[in-house]
């Protein structure tokens, strides 16, 4: 039996690419994704995965880090550098904070540590797939003084400059901007933006907030958009002279 490019077809509107060389785990993941009515394409190497991404429409990528021909983070970086915003989740046994931060900074939307429960995997998959669907029902754009957050193009234009944000950074900024000056805890943001609220994953929010703020800080005009409320959480503070949204 061919170990790679095994495709399960079912009545589904979502196509998922699984990149995992551990066969028992891959079978378990595919079984659950299939039971959720998704179409799953399975690859065991980065090279195979790159070919699938180049030739097929994919709605979600689940990828291991340690693969026979390299680290899944490399592929994630290549996907983001190409301007592709397809949701990506890393599945890995590497559980140190440094590894999690590295994975998220590579452009991954989520990071699930092995061994993981099937229920958590299913919840994460649902959350990542739901994100794009929610965006379709949002207003076309939010307008502030000198800043436009466009939901249709998923672009943030600040004083005639386009900010280079990842998909998750955009979602995070958008959610905060939809509730200006309202303070949200890490758990509230985890639930609203990521779609789940498991305790212990607040570091995911911290990492994305820090990355977002670092990018905003590259311009003095946007440096203070996202502020920390010590002991509570974070809030979006619109620039002065806010225009009508």
The percentage of the chain sitting over the pLDDT mark of 70, rounded to a whole number, equals: 87
The percentage of the chain sitting over the pLDDT mark of 90, rounded to a whole number, equals: 43
- Closest CA relative to residue 43, chosen from 56, 231, 110: 56
Q: pLDDT tier at 194 (50, 70, 90 boundaries)? A: confident
DSSP, collapsed to helix, strand or coil, labels residue 161 as: strand
Q: How far apart are CA 61 and CA 41, in angstroms?
A: 10
Same fold, 6-135 and 138-236: no
Domain boundaries, the chain: 6-135, 138-236
* CATH code of the region 138-236: 1.10.10.10
Q: How far apart are CA 188 and CA 215, in angstroms?
A: 23
Question: Of 91-95, 126-130, 201-205, where does mean pLDDT reach its minimum?
Answer: 201-205
Cα angle, residue 150 at apex, residues 208 and 76 outer, rounded to 5°: 40
25-43 pLDDT, tens per residue? 999 999 999 999 999 999 9
Cα angle, residue 97 at apex, residues 47 and 186 outer, rounded to 5°: 110
Q: How far apart are CA 143 and CA 242, in angstroms?
A: 8
The pLDDT of residue 133: 54
Tokens standing for residue 108:
């991954």
Q: How far apart are CA 10 and CA 7, in angstroms?
A: 10
Mean pLDDT of the chain: 84
Give the mean pLDDT of 175-200: 84
Q: Which residue has the tokens 């061919």?
A: 2
Q: Which residue has the tokens 């672009």?
A: 155
The pLDDT of residue 22: 95
φ/ψ of residue 163, rounded to 5: -85, 135
Give the mean pLDDT of 222-238: 92
* CATH code of the region 6-135: 3.40.50.2300
Q: Which residue has the tokens 């958009």?
A: 225
């Amino acid at each position: 039996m061919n170990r790679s490019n095994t495709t399960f077809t079912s009545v589904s509107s979502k196509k998922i690419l699984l990149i995992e060389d551990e066969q028992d785990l891959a079978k378990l993941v595919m079984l659950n994704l299939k039971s959720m009515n998704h179409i799953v394409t399975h690859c065991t190497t980065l090279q195979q995965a790159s070919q699938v991404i180049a030739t097929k429409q994919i709605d979600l990528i689940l990828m291991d880090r340690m693969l026979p021909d390299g680290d899944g983070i490399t592929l994630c970086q290549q996907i983001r550098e190409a301007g592709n915003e397809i949701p990506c989740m890393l599945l890995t046994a590497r559980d140190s904070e440094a590894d999690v931060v590295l994975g998220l900074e590579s452009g991954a939307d989520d990071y699930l540590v092995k061994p993981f429960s099937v229920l958590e995997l299913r919840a994460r998959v649902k959350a990542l797939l739901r994100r794009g669907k929610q965006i379709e029902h949002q207003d076309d754009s939010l307008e502030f003084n000198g800043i436009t957050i466009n939901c249709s193009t998923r672009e943030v234009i600040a004083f005639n400059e386009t900010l280079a944000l990842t998909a998750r950074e955009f979602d995070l900024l958008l959610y905060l901007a939809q509730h200006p000056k309202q303070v949200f805890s890490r758990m509230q943001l985890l639930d609203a933006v990521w779609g789940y609220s498991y305790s212990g994953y607040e570091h995911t929010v911290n990492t994305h907030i820090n990355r977002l703020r670092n990018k905003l800080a590259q311009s003095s005009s946007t440096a203070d958009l996202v502020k920390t409320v010590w002991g509570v959480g974070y809030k979006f503070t619109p620039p002065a002279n806010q225009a009508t949204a």
